[in-house]
Structure 1
Amino acid sequence: MTPVNILIVDDREENIIALEALLKRDDIRMFSTTSPNEALKIAWDTNIAIALIDVQMPEMDGFELVEMLKSNPRTKDILVIFVTAISKEAKYAVKGLGTGAVDYLYKPLDPYITSAKVDSFVQLARNQADIRQKNEELQNYALVVKNSADIITSVDAQSLRIIDINPTIEKIMGFRASELTGKSIVDLAIEEHRFDFRKKLGEIIKDNLQFAIFEFKFETFDKRLIWVECRAAYRNKVIFINISDISPQKSFQEQLIKSKENAEHSKKVKETFLANMSHELRTPVNGIIGISALLRKTELNEQQLGMLDLLDTSSKSLLGVINDVLDISKIEAGKFSIVRTASNVYDVVKSVFNLLKFKADENNIEFLLEIEEEVPQYLMIDSLRLNQILMNLLSNALKFTERGYVKLRVIVLQKHLDKVKIKFSVEDTGIGIPADRLNSIFDSFEQAEDDTSNKYGGTGLGLTIVKKLAELKGGELTVSSQAGRGSTFNFTCWYTIAAKPKEKPAERGDRILAPFNHIRVLVAEDNMVNQFMLSKILKDWRVEVDMVDNGRKVIDRLNSKSYDIILMDTHMPEMNGYQAAKAIRVDFEEPKRSIPIISLSAASYDHEQQEAIAAGMNEVLSKPFMPYQLHEKMARLLKVDA
């Protein structure tokens, strides 16, 4: 508790000492003087609440001192008690009270009366101080309310009429405060929102809520519609509401929602386009690869075999470009997954190295491979994606190196328990990368120089794919380079050490495939080249084949004839493969309802393959495929030996 300051003024020191001894306690701080002039200075410098002043003093009597105190705004509120030994006549009491005193104490002082009076005035002084503080706070609050950027109003809980509202209402809504006083707050809301606004206020009153927040649309004086946020509190049958104009935020939110919807629509359009593009590009490539494989089984001279090799190389190159574009799209769409299995990292690295060695030998480039002995043989890796990373980095290095060497190094950087940090380095003595292009080479369709694609070829997607794959694998891809001296690309990643997996029998694409005897196959394929290729492959397996070019014809044929299995493309005119499969599974009776269906899909997205299974297809075979892969799936579904 803050002590109350009391001033004692008496020309005799012994009287001061007696009063101090009488009044001494913890909640009082006493100041004393025998000089009226010094008393004025103390009162001016110190926040004095009560003054006990002797009436008779030589320099200046008590009446004169009190008149001076009351004439000064800084000291006029001091509670003055006269202490006197003169007559108790009424005229003296009237004179004292007239100068501003609140009471008298008569000498000789009665200790009990003196303590009681001083105590009551201490309480009065405290109350006055509290009132002054609250008045100051109220004035400050009034100033804040008046100048608030928000509308602040008090509303009668019974009638919902406005008791008071600040001037900001005119700035935000165009109404004068005086015009709305006594009007219903509900009328500020637009007509469609009034019922809900009234209901919300009713809930606040019913539940006696100290805080509630809600949003509605209000109509301004000039008929504009604005969104407002109301923060309300209920107390003593009055609702206090702070109303903010949130129209800009709402507009921004609506723009964000619209932008999100547009982005999702664009994403869906892009995915649909890429799915169609995948089908349209992979389907003819499948035909080229399939026809090439069929041609190799015929009698050919050396020149024809050479042309077939060129055709094979061209089709695989085209497939590589298609896969690059689709991989980038899948990564950006978040539909690209990393699948780790126990794999022999030495085999993965050496297979990439051996595959590209002929290219290095052709160009007289020294091609080097170093694998540190500390590198564990078996790791949990996505071998397909690691192969893709190394293939891109090494292909790039060989493409841009005209003389010197390309070196692949695999080393261990760190080891902790069953985890190991591996660094794959691809170093070359090629053309290098200018310093100002180092940051952009990982961007899609970007290359080190503007004429690089003209001189060396390529889509400019390889490094983008490598960068994104590295990040998906939780690794890091860095590059250091000097123009004209070569480059070093480093891919580092943590892997889990694995045990040696069980060996699977090797697949041979050129093995002799057993015929299917007495099997009828219905093929749905709209591409003529693929029709020819599938027909030739199936007839070589002694299969009876019927060919149609859309899903509607599949249904018609199945209505009139029985088949052992259906091979069906997913993208076809009139009725696609998904629709046809669903119709078979729903509309037909057994055993036709359960006929095995293999989707021959050029789909690149996992969700498209899942959609094929969801539609009722038993297996999905992605184009382009090898004949033995189709033979395997057919044998499994037909339950015959392959």
Structure 2
Amino acid sequence: MDKINVLIVDDKEENIIALEALIQRDDINIISTTSPNEALKLAWDQNICLALVDVQMPNIDGFTLVEMLKSHPRTKDILILFVTAISKETKYAVKGLSTGAMDYLYKPLDPIITMAKVDSFIRLAKAQLEIKHKNAALERYAVIIANSVDIICVVDERTKLIEELNPSIEKILGFKKEDVLERPIYSLVPKNRLEDFREELLKLDHEKERTFEFQLLNNKGELVWTECRVTFSKKKYFFSISNHTLQKQYEEQLIHSKEDAIQARNVKETFLANMSHELRTPLNGIIGIANLLKQTELEEAQKQMVKLLEVSSQSLLGVVNDILDLSKIDAGKFVLSKKEVNIYHILKSSIELMRTKANEKLLDLNLEIDPRLPKYIETDPLRLNQILMNLISNAIKFTEKGYVSLRVNQLSHEGDYITVKFEVKDTGIGIQPERKAKIFESYEQADDDTSLKYGGTGLGLGIVKKLVELQNGKIDFNSEYGKGSNFWFELTFRAINNYSTPAENIEELTSFAGMRALVAEDNQINQFIVVKFLKNWNIEVDVTQNGQEAIAMLKKHSYDFILMDTYMPGMGGYEATKHIRTEFNDDKKYTPIISMSAAVLEDEKNAAMEAGMDYVLTKPFIPQDLHRLIHVISLKNNVKL
């Protein structure tokens, strides 16, 4: 505690000096004066706790001074100790005590008695000061509690009666304070939750404080969500109860919003799955027929038309992929599929597929490859091709004259890994400065009339940016409006040193003579294409229209593998596969099954695997994709080709 102030009032300076010498100690500040008038001022200003006042002083004696001190609220609590040399008669003692003094010190002062009395009064003054501070604190707490928005109450441990309560009970539960006092706290608890409430209180035996959510009853018998904070001390429960109705309503809204979002996502995914099937199935037919036509004898004009057919179908497939990929990325379900590939082949294919479009606009389309670049790398070829095709296609679309170039440079080579920079530069219309910040956003285009003049969905660059970032790469661009643009991205790949080159041309695909396959496919065009590919590779083929027919055929014959469409009338591919894996008792239950699906969502691919399928062939596919899977099956089955 801080030092207390002690005032000495005596008209003789020598008496003050003597008294100061006797009572001086570390826990007090001594303030002295020979003037009663100044003493009044000091008492007012200095927060005096104890005053030693001489009785006999000129003008104003000690009795009068003390009466004046005791008459004012600011100084009335000062402890007074009279110092006097006059008679010890009773009338003087009574007069002094009646003015408000506590005791007397008689001159000449006895040092021991003086020090003892002053010490006891100092201790009393300290205790009084501490009580005063505590009372002030209690008053402040009382104001805080009375004005708290929370219900503050004290509950007896044994009886559970509410002993103290603030007015907030009326705001939160609608009860008047006097209606609830001396009632059990359980009267605010729903009957069917009494046991739960008791258990919450019992847990306080092991905890200093406990907080729990609970529904209490208001004065209308309605349930109100609250948060109860409870402490236990000296056989009393101290409650602080907050109204949590708004928080619970907000939480419920969040839950409903989440459920609505999940429902909307499920509807969206169902729609995307159906759209994927409806778009990819005919696309598979178009791309497959184009591949078959290339194997026939064609005139030069016909070859050109087949090439245009391939470019158009691949362009349409690119748009479908963009829409589906954007949805998968946003849903967090996008998965990269890395393979060992020839990067030169990917780069050249990207350029050649776009060359027809460039030729139509009389543009030069160039490819520059850093000679240090390894031939084979590990990457997701579909996604790398998708990025390149989007950037090159965009460049051609927005360039009326001049050139479009793809430049590929190796930036670094550390261990097995290389960092490669891809740049697509054009002499096109460029991008206005105010549009640059949004150019990578989905559905954004460089100008308001861009879609009308040049076409497109506005998805391409948004997809490109997300695909690059998913591979921990970086992408940016620089552009000068009216002069052209340069889009670039950097990716890191694992370089492949020992690589066995697969067949890349249809003519090079090996024969599978001696193998027998079952095809379950209801779409006539896809059925025709698959059968044609298989027979070109000298595979014996049986065909069915649905899962039931496939099961019946498998009971009669043995097959090296089954190509099973996912969606078929009657019994689909998943159900038929499950039946084969669980109902067949011989080696036929282990027949390799390739799912032919237009599905691109990872959930659907997982569903195929969970059904028991061994491989997933996503439509549309090229002959090399199917040939590669059959080659893997032939190796596992030890088929002699």
Q: Fold match, TM over 0.5?
A: yes
TM-superposed CA distance for 1:112, in Å, is 0.8
TM-superposed CA distance for 1:165, in Å, is 1.2
State the distance in 2 between where 1:525 and 1:418 align.
43
* Contact 2:326–2:463 (8 Å) recurs in 1: yes
Residue 115 of structure 2 corresponds to which residue in structure 1? 115
TM-superposed CA distance for 1:582, in Å, is 1.5
Distance change in 2, residues 1:292/1:423 (3 Å) = closer
* Contact 1:381–1:495 (8 Å) recurs in 2: no
Residue 159 of structure 1 corresponds to which residue in structure 2? 159
Residue 127 of structure 2 corresponds to which residue in structure 1? 127
Q: Which moved more, 1:536-545 or 1:101-110?
A: 536-545
Distance change in 2, residues 1:414/1:430 (3 Å) = same
Q: Determine helix, strand or coil for the equivalent of 1:438.
A: helix
The alignment status of 1:630 with 2:626, answered yes or no, reads: yes
State the distance in 1 between where 2:342 and 2:305 align.
36
Distance change in 2, residues 1:38/1:140 (3 Å) = same
Residue 185 of structure 1 corresponds to which residue in structure 2? 185
TM-score normalised according to structure 1 size: 0.91
Residue 318 of structure 1 corresponds to which residue in structure 2? 316
State the distance in 2 between where 1:613 and 1:551 align.
17
Distance change in 2, residues 1:501/1:272 (3 Å) = farther
Q: What amino acid is the match of 1:530?
A: N
Distance change in 2, residues 1:452/1:35 (3 Å) = closer
Distance change in 2, residues 1:31/1:480 (3 Å) = same
Q: What amino acid is the match of 1:129?
A: L
Q: Determine helix, strand or coil for the equivalent of 2:568.
A: coil
Residue 639 of structure 2 corresponds to which residue in structure 1? 640
Residue 251 of structure 1 corresponds to which residue in structure 2? 249
Residue 593 of structure 1 corresponds to which residue in structure 2? 589
TM-superposed CA distance for 1:196, in Å, is 0.9
State the distance in 2 between where 1:94 and 1:88 align.
10
State the distance in 2 between where 1:478 and 1:510 align.
40
State the distance in 1 between where 2:388 and 2:325 align.
16
The alignment status of 1:510 with 2:507, answered yes or no, reads: yes
TM-superposed CA distance for 1:133, in Å, is 0.5
Q: Which moved more, 1:270-279 or 1:118-127?
A: 270-279
TM-superposed CA distance for 1:66, in Å, is 0.7
Distance change in 2, residues 1:457/1:40 (3 Å) = closer
Residue 430 of structure 1 corresponds to which residue in structure 2? 428
Q: What amino acid is the match of 1:148?
A: S
Distance change in 2, residues 1:371/1:15 (3 Å) = farther
Q: Determine helix, strand or coil for the equivalent of 1:164.
A: strand
Distance change in 2, residues 1:365/1:500 (3 Å) = same
State the distance in 2 between where 1:512 and 1:495 align.
31
TM-superposed CA distance for 1:447, in Å, is 2.6
State the distance in 1 between where 2:258 and 2:304 align.
53
* Contact 2:443–2:458 (8 Å) recurs in 1: yes
Residue 329 of structure 1 corresponds to which residue in structure 2? 327
Please give the residue correspondences for 1:548-559 in structure 2 after superposition, counting only pairs within 5 Å.
Answer: 548-559=544-555
Residue 71 of structure 1 corresponds to which residue in structure 2? 71
Distance change in 2, residues 1:345/1:52 (3 Å) = farther
Please give the residue correspondences for 1:215-254 in structure 2 after superposition, counting only pairs within 5 Å.
Answer: 215-254=213-252
State the distance in 2 between where 1:379 and 1:545 align.
36
State the distance in 1 between where 2:485 and 2:310 align.
32
State the distance in 1 between where 2:564 and 2:273 align.
17
Distance change in 2, residues 1:381/1:313 (3 Å) = closer
* Deviation by residue 1:400-456 (Cα, 9 ceiling, x = unmatched): 111123344556889999998765443322123344443444333333344434443
State the distance in 2 between where 1:56 and 1:417 align.
104
* Contact 2:418–2:495 (8 Å) recurs in 1: no
State the distance in 2 between where 1:494 and 1:561 align.
49
Distance change in 2, residues 1:411/1:117 (3 Å) = farther
TM-superposed CA distance for 1:102, in Å, is 0.2
State the distance in 1 between where 2:328 and 2:480 align.
33
* Deviation by residue 1:450-495 (Cα, 9 ceiling, x = unmatched): 443444333322112112223323344334444433333243x464
* Deviation by residue 1:45-91 (Cα, 9 ceiling, x = unmatched): 11111111111112221111111111111111111111111111111
Please give the residue correspondences for 1:342-491 in structure 2 after superposition, counting only pairs within 5 Å.
Answer: 349=347, 352-353=350-351, 356-357=354-355, 359-368=357-366, 382=380, 384-409=382-407, 423-491=421-489
Residue 581 of structure 1 corresponds to which residue in structure 2? 577
* Deviation by residue 1:504-530 (Cα, 9 ceiling, x = unmatched): 21323222532433x543221121111
Unaligned runs of 5+ in 2: none
Q: Determine helix, strand or coil for the equivalent of 1:433.
A: coil
Distance change in 2, residues 1:283/1:194 (3 Å) = same
Two-structure CA RMSD over aligned residues (Å): 2.9
TM-superposed CA distance for 1:215, in Å, is 0.6
Residue 46 of structure 2 corresponds to which residue in structure 1? 46
TM-superposed CA distance for 1:21, in Å, is 0.8
Residue 35 of structure 1 corresponds to which residue in structure 2? 35
Distance change in 2, residues 1:140/1:33 (3 Å) = same
TM-superposed CA distance for 1:327, in Å, is 1.8
Residue 172 of structure 1 corresponds to which residue in structure 2? 172
TM-superposed CA distance for 1:233, in Å, is 0.6
Distance change in 2, residues 1:91/1:344 (3 Å) = farther
Q: Determine helix, strand or coil for the equivalent of 1:617.
A: coil
State the distance in 2 between where 1:485 and 1:162 align.
82
State the distance in 2 between where 1:107 and 1:415 align.
103
* Contact 2:522–2:568 (8 Å) recurs in 1: yes
* Contact 2:225–2:248 (8 Å) recurs in 1: yes
Q: What amino acid is the match of 2:317?
A: L
* Deviation by residue 1:13-39 (Cα, 9 ceiling, x = unmatched): 221111111111111211111221121
Residue 87 of structure 1 corresponds to which residue in structure 2? 87
* Contact 1:370–1:408 (8 Å) recurs in 2: yes
Distance change in 2, residues 1:416/1:142 (3 Å) = farther
State the distance in 2 between where 1:597 and 1:464 align.
37
State the distance in 2 between where 1:247 and 1:417 align.
61
Q: What amino acid is the match of 1:585?
A: R
* Contact 2:475–2:488 (8 Å) recurs in 1: yes
State the distance in 2 between where 1:385 and 1:538 align.
28
Q: Determine helix, strand or coil for the equivalent of 1:228.
A: strand
Distance change in 2, residues 1:505/1:134 (3 Å) = same
State the distance in 1 between where 2:84 and 2:100 align.
16
State the distance in 1 between where 2:402 and 2:523 align.
47
TM-superposed CA distance for 1:188, in Å, is 1.4
* Contact 1:419–1:494 (8 Å) recurs in 2: no
Distance change in 2, residues 1:310/1:416 (3 Å) = closer
Distance change in 2, residues 1:11/1:459 (3 Å) = closer
* Contact 2:318–2:386 (8 Å) recurs in 1: no
Q: What amino acid is the match of 2:60?
A: M
* Contact 2:546–2:572 (8 Å) recurs in 1: yes
Distance change in 2, residues 1:235/1:119 (3 Å) = same
* Deviation by residue 1:596-616 (Cα, 9 ceiling, x = unmatched): 212122221233223222221
Q: Which moved more, 1:609-618 or 1:339-348?
A: 339-348
Residue 106 of structure 1 corresponds to which residue in structure 2? 106
Distance change in 2, residues 1:534/1:354 (3 Å) = closer
Q: Which moved more, 1:415-424 or 1:471-480?
A: 415-424
State the distance in 1 between where 2:119 and 2:449 align.
98
State the distance in 1 between where 2:284 and 2:555 align.
30
Q: What amino acid is the match of 2:588?
A: K
* Contact 1:187–1:194 (8 Å) recurs in 2: no
State the distance in 2 between where 1:190 and 1:165 align.
20
Distance change in 2, residues 1:182/1:407 (3 Å) = same
